[in-house]
């Protein structure tokens, strides 16, 4: 069964860092481009970052709202995609989801709360 499992969320103070992980199983992870999305409380969905497969260069893209603060990366040997989040702001508070870039596979989400 195909599955994505996020981890690493929690409560963090503004300005601090957090790294989210998303472990895949049940499909050939290395063949897939992967993305992170987020959803602030009571709000809609927002794309955060994507990373292409190594076959397609492994290039990345980040939303303007997180560019320069967040970095997406992947470790195909561990079927894991990461989101390094630095200089966190209160507005980054959200449930963060990883998904394959086709939108078919989604994780259950991990909650990040940025608060002093």
Partner 1 sequence: DIQMTQSPSSLYASVGDRVTISCQASQDIKNYLNWYQQKPGKAPKLLIYHASNLETGVPSRFGGSGSGTDFTFTINSLQPEDFATYYCQEYGDLLYTFGQGTKLEIK
Among residues 41, 44, 57, 68, which is the contact residue for partner 1, using CB under 8 A? Answer: 44
Q: Does residue 58 come out as left (phi exceeding 0), alpha (psi in the -120 to 50 range) or beta? A: left
Count the residues of the shown chain that bind partner 1, applying the rule CB under 8 A. 20
Q: Which is nearer to partner 1, 8 or 61 (CB)?
A: 61
Quote the CA–CA distance of 74 and 52 in Å, as a whole number: 9
Q: Which is nearer to partner 1, 30 or 61 (CB)?
A: 61
8 Å CB contact between 107 and 4: yes
Please, which of residues 91-110 interact with partner 1 by CB under 8 A? 97, 99, 101-104, 106-109
Quote the CA–CA distance of 77 and 94 in Å, as a whole number: 29
Which two structure tokens, joined as six digits, stand for 32?
Answer: 């897939």
Binding of residue 11 to partner 1 (CB under 8 A): no
> In the chain, how long is the greatest CA-to-CA distance?
42
Binding of residue 9 to partner 1 (CB under 8 A): no
Judged by the rule CB under 8 A, the positions of this chain that interact with partner 1 are: 35, 37, 44-47, 50, 61, 63-64, 97, 99, 101-104, 106-109
């Amino acid at each position: 069964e195909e599955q994505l499992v996020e981890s690493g969320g929690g409560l963090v103070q503004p300005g601090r860092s957090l790294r989210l992980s998303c472990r895949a199983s049940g499909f050939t992870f290395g063949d897939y481009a992967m993305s992170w999305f987020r959803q602030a409380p009571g709000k809609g969905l927002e794309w955060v970052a994507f990373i292409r497969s190594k076959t397609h260069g492994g290039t990345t893209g980040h939303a303007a709202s997180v560019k320069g603060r967040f970095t997406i990366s992947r470790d195909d040997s561990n079927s894991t995609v990461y989101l390094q989040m630095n200089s966190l702001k209160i507005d980054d508070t959200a449930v963060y989801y990883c998904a394959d870039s086709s939108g078919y596979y989604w994780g259950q989400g991990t909650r990040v709360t940025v608060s002093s």
